[in-house]
Structure 1
Amino acid sequence: MAGKWVIGMGLCAALAAGSAWAAQPSEALVRELMQVMNVPGQFTVMNNQMASMMSQQLPCVPATYWQNYIDKSGQEELLTAMIPAYQHHFSSDEVEGLIKFYKSPLGQKLVAQMPATMAEAAQSGQQWGRQRTSDMFADLQKQGKLDGQGRCPGTGGAQGQ
């Protein structure tokens, strides 16, 4: 019964608005937003990070192999795959507002500074995580749940069991 009521209310709201889907941003509008947000530039950063990680994990593969992990074709595929998420979560008016913001001086500063900001924040998060893990291991050792080497006592040395 409740499901029918929700569907009925949704239908009424759609009819009252003319069409609930009319507010959905077009693909072109979402692509414009992605451009002013420098999403393709973020793909380049992601590509470099992926190449570095893969080179470390598979040193037998030349590092240059991974440099095209997200090539032009991959960028287009990723952009296209991301569009429905933006269309689902933002209306046309909201996307237009975001475009206006990202074209503003403050929006452009955000785009320019975000990679460095996120890198610094990630370092802080990693440092915090190492300290938190160390503190929790020390607490578990005090409780006798881990031995001096951070292993479960009496389990043949397996951690975290």
Structure 2
Amino acid sequence: MIRRMGVLVLLCTMTGGLGIAQQGAPDSTRPSREQVLKLMSVMGVRQNVNATLKNMQDQVKVSARTTFQINHPEVDLTTLKKLDAVFDSVKLFGFDEIEDTLIPVYQKHLSSADVQAGIDFYSSAAGKRLMEKMPLVVRESNESGGKLVQEKLKAYNEELARKGKALEAELEKQKPPKAEKPKAEDNKSGNTDDKSK
């Protein structure tokens, strides 16, 4: 769960910058902390990270509550409220606590001019519209793309299984026939000395 949270936080914070990111700007001025924070603000990074973290905390709470109810089927509403209060009393970190780790990444890969261009774009009507519509685009893309990916993976796995079986059959044909083991000779010779003695 922690690993998934880290991935989600990084995706939320970094993917927005990909639209303006370049390989780096070796000959350009490094953006200031204030510029990077302004870019993050107009891109909605702070809001997205905090919303993602809140959703994750809510999921952990629901999961823990469900597990608790399974392990303690006799639990009453008062106890569940106490459990909820425990989760509500422990706050997960927010964007403010990780921004100092993220800012240098933006400063490393973007010039001051890049960041200013991003600020200008995301502050414009087109940039705001893009930011408004992007969650819908991503969600619908994941839904339709996810179905297609599942279908493609199923076909891929079926094809691999078919070709794997064909290869096994081919290899089986190439094996030399098994030599039959010679049967015990003492019954063939008719030697019954042991029985007659």
> TM-score, normalization: structure 1?
0.63
Structure 1 residue 112 and structure 2 residue 135: aligned? Answer: no
Quick one: distance in 2 between partners of 1:48 and 1:118? Answer: 20
**Does the aligned pair in 2 maintain the 1:24–1:92 contact within 8 Å?**
yes
Structure 1 residue 86 and structure 2 residue 106: aligned? Answer: yes
**Does the aligned pair in 1 maintain the 2:57–2:92 contact within 8 Å?**
no
Match of 2:45 in 1: 39
1:106 and 1:127, CA in 2 relative to 1: closer, same or farther beyond 3 A?
A: same
Q: Report the count of equivalent residues.
A: 125
**Does the aligned pair in 1 maintain the 2:35–2:115 contact within 8 Å?**
yes
Structure 1 residue 128 and structure 2 residue 128: aligned? Answer: no
1:136 shift after superposition: 1.3
CA-based RMSD: 3.1
1:143 and 1:53, CA in 2 relative to 1: closer, same or farther beyond 3 A?
A: farther
1:142 shift after superposition: 1.9
Q: Which runs of 5+ in 1 are unaligned?
A: 1-19, 146-161
Q: Which has the larger radius of gyration?
A: 2
Quick one: distance in 2 between partners of 1:133 and 1:69? Answer: 39
| Higher mean displacement: 26-35 or 119-128 | 119-128
Quick one: distance in 1 between partners of 2:45 and 2:60? Answer: 22
1:124 and 1:79, CA in 2 relative to 1: closer, same or farther beyond 3 A?
A: farther
* Identical aligned residues as a percent: 27
1:143 and 1:22, CA in 2 relative to 1: closer, same or farther beyond 3 A?
A: closer
1:47 shift after superposition: 2.2
1:44 shift after superposition: 3.4
**Does the aligned pair in 2 maintain the 1:52–1:63 contact within 8 Å?**
no
Match of 1:98 in 2: 118
Match of 1:153 in 2: none
Q: Which runs of 5+ in 2 are unaligned?
A: 1-25, 69-82, 166-197
Q: Which has the higher contact order (CA 8 A, sep 6+)?
A: 2
**Does the aligned pair in 2 maintain the 1:25–1:91 contact within 8 Å?**
yes
> TM-score, normalization: structure 2?
0.53
Alignment of 1:67-82 (within 5 A): 70-71=92-93, 74-82=94-102
1:30 and 1:124, CA in 2 relative to 1: closer, same or farther beyond 3 A?
A: same
